[in-house]
């Protein structure tokens, strides 16, 4: 599939189709036994990775679990939630605050072959990103950057982070959550459903799936075909006036 869309040939989009996808997505707690075809799952995962992400450093990973034995153990680590025990597929969506250096190199290596690499992009990944994301041993560089930022920030706008290992975790999680949402909407568009679960024992999930120690399991996504009793209640949201502020 060609992920590249020429800006000059933007496709016509039917907003009602988009609305259908968004409005029909629900957190589904019970799935049928029907498997998700591999091609559908692959397409959804590709669409997930098209999510916007910080500096295009793509700080995420997806661990897809389909085999019944491992799935059963993972469902247990997801506290035995119905969504986890009934889903034919479980996907651990992992944020990687620690892959930025390798991915900065990948961003250069995998720059589109038919496009010239702009010097500013090369400078960004070679010089600016290493300065921006590196927090140094024991976070000392981050602390120094924060101090400098506080001083310079009195006079002009400056980036206010990430200035620590914890802020790097937030940094990676933001982009990963966007990819997770793309994944959920892609599944819906294919006629399948999902349930994001942070209700899980992250230590056990990491051990079971042999995940990288610095990875953060942002959520485990249960995915499959919605069962008739899969949605527990009507969808509702708070009054927009409480949450949306026009300034
Ligand atoms: C980060 C995150 C974690 C969630 N964790 C769980 C969970 O562990 N178990 C569960 O049943 N639902 C979980 N949900 C689903 C929410 O309960 C659900 O999105 C919310 O109630 C709104 O319902 P809707 O998704 O059907 O609109 C989670 C959702 C998000 C975004």
User: What are the boundaries of each domain within the chain?
Assistant: 26-228
Q: Are 108 and 57 in contact (CB under 8 A)?
A: no
Check residue 2 and give its pLDDT.
45
Residue nearest to atom 7 of ligand 1 (CA): 197
Q: Which residues of the chain have pLDDT under 70?
A: 1-8
d(CA 198, ligand 1 centre) in Å: 8
CA-CA-CA-CA torsion for 36, 42, 43, 44, nearest 10 degrees? Answer: 70
Burial 60-75 (b: 16+ CB within 10 A, else e): bbbbebeeeeebebbb
CB-count burial class (<10 Å; 0-12, 13-18, 19+) for 11: exposed
CA of 196 to the centre of ligand 1 (A): 6
DSSP character at residue 225 = P
Whole-angstrom Cα distance, residue 172 to residue 182?
16
Q: Give first-to-last CA distance, the chain, whole Å.
A: 41
Residue of 79, 195, 238 to test ligand 1 pocket, by largest number of atoms within 8 Å of CB: 195
Rg of the chain on CA atoms, in Å: 21
Residue range 26-228, CATH number: 3.40.109.10
Helices 38-48 and 165-189: angle between axes, nearest 10 degrees? 140
Nearest in space to 84 (alpha carbons), one of 202, 223, 191, 186? 223
């Amino acid at each position: 599939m060609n992920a590249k869309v020429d800006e000059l040939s933007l496709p016509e989009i039917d907003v009602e189709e988009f609305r259908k996808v968004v409005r029909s997505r629900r957190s589904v707690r019970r799935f049928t036994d029907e498997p998700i075809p591999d091609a559908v799952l692959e397409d959804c995962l590709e669409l997930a990775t098209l999510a916007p992400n910080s500096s295009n450093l793509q700080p995420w990973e997806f661990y897809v679990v389909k085999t019944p034995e491992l799935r059963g153990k993972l469902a247990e680590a997801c506290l035995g939630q119905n969504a986890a025990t009934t889903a034919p597929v479980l996907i651990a969506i992992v944020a990687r605050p620690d892959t930025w250096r390798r991915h900065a190199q990948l961003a250069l290596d995998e720059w589109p072959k038919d496009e010239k690499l702009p010097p500013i992009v090369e400078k960004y990944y070679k010089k600016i990103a290493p300065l921006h994301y590196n927090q140094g041993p024991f976070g000392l560089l981050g602390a120094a950057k924060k101090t400098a930022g506080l001083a310079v920030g009195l006079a002009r706008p400056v980036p206010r982070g990430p200035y620590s290992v914890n802020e790097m975790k937030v940094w990676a999680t933001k982009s990963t959550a966007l990819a997770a949402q793309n994944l959920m909407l892609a599944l819906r568009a294919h006629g399948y459903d999902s349930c994001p679960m942070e209700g899980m024992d992250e230590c056990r999930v990491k051990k079971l799936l042999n995940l990288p120690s610095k990875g953060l399991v942002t959520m485990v996504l249960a995915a499959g075909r919605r069962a008739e009793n899969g949605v527990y209640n009507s969808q509702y949201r708070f009054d927009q006036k409480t949450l949306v502020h026009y300034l």
